Amino acid sequence: MCTRPAANLPRVSLMSVVLGVYPSSKYGTLTIADRLGGVAIQLQGFPIDAVKQLALRCAREAGKLSLERLKQPFSVEYKTSASDLVTAVDKEVEQYVADTILKEFPDHGILGEESTFQGESSAYETLWIIDPIDGTTNFVHQQINYAVSIAVYYRGEGMMGIVYDPSRDEMFCGIRGAGAYLNDRPLALKRKVKLEEALLCTSVFWNKRAEQIGIDRIVKKLAGKVRGMRLLGSAALEMAYVAAGRLDGYVSMALHPWDFAAGKIIVEEAGGIATQISGEALPYTQNSSVMACNPTFYDELRFHLHKSAES
């Protein structure tokens, strides 16, 4: 894990940025050809273009590296149990991404799955949240259905999220205020979906913890109210699929920030909603439950999740 001194600056909402009450930083004022509610905005101090290019390059190179490593045997270790794995490739890919970012932006912070974060990650002005391989079990068993996930947060606001599936060469990308894309195709959740017609996804069954939390029971009840449930094994990819309309919703418990940080931005930029199951905003440095879906049935889905939890 790579850490750098924290910028120790106050967190300011995007609205403050829009209103221009943000102090400029060493990067100066940068205009991003960006829209927020149809209004062109300026983000002072955030080098969006350089960050965007770097994040896309890192995701693509990291994906290529993972595919290369699949051609030879690699070590697989248990983290907490036989259903919680880490491979030498996870570690190598994360190191590659972290080194590449810090070479260009030495004062940025990095919160990555395979490293121990030493310090207060939320204190960094710019924080990169990385999962080098989301869906490690799929990577080991299937060699497909995994993704590189990279999110960039600036003063607490999610600026950009990338989920890259190397096996299919699919790059899902969301940039705050500028939309979401799958490769060159814009993503927009325009289709109205009733809950009973929805195809949902969850990753609650990955270990015994699901039973302790009780989410397995909740999801089982939900399954009777929707068209179908899927379990793909990569939270980042599942959220990207919600943004692309391949799935209508995703529900999970106790995920880590690197599992959902990028997916959240992509879902929101595609016009979807991504929150905690309580309805609160997703944190970006703490574990959380996640519900992400087409906006047409968000309230209904949350109602059923709560009803099932109470009964």
- Alpha-carbon distance 202 to 157, whole Å? 26
Q: Using CB under 6 A, which of the segments 7-15, 40-48, 199-207, 296-304 binds ligand 2AM?
A: 199-207
Strands (DSSP E) contained in 135-230 are 147-154, 157-165, 170-175, 179-182, 185-187, 199-202, 228-230
- Alpha-carbon distance 287 to 255, whole Å? 5
Q: How many alpha carbons fall within 13 Å on the CB side of residue 73? A: 1
133 is catalytic: yes
In whole angstroms, how close is the CB of 104 to Ca ion at the nearest point? 23
3 is catalytic: no
Residue 104 interaction partner, one of ligand 2AM, Ca ion, none, beta carbon < 5-8 Å per kind: none
Residue of 94, 134, 248, 268 with catalytic role = 134
Residue of 126, 136, 275, 285 with catalytic role = 136
134 is catalytic: yes
Residue of 41, 48, 129, 133 with catalytic role = 133
Q: Please give the structure tokens belonging to residue 33.
A: 């050809």
Q: Using CB under 6 A, which of the segments 11-19, 24-32, 80-88, 297-305 binds ligand 2AM?
A: 80-88
Residue type at 167?
Answer: S
Which residue in 9, 60, 74, 84 binds ligand 2AM (CB under 6 A)?
84
How many residues at the interface with ligand 2AM, by CB under 6 A? 17
- Alpha-carbon distance 176 to 65, whole Å? 28
> Which residues in 102-131 contact Ca ion (CB under 5 A)?
113, 131
Q: Please give the structure tokens belonging to residue 156.
A: 């607490």
Site mask for ligand 2AM (CB under 6 A), range 17-56, x = bound: ----------------------------------------
User: What are the distances in angstroms from CA 276 to CA 233, 254, 264?
Assistant: 19, 10, 11
Interacting residues of 1 by C-beta distance below 8 A, sequence separation 6+:
98, 110, 112, 114, 115, 116, 117, 118
Is 221 an interacting residue with respect to ligand 2AM (CB under 6 A)?
no
> Which residues in 106-135 contact ligand 2AM (CB under 6 A)?
113, 131, 134-135
Residues with catalytic roles: 113, 131, 133-134, 136, 259
| Residues engaged in binding ligand 2AM (CB under 6 A) | 80, 83-84, 113, 131, 134-136, 203, 206-207, 233-235, 255-256, 259
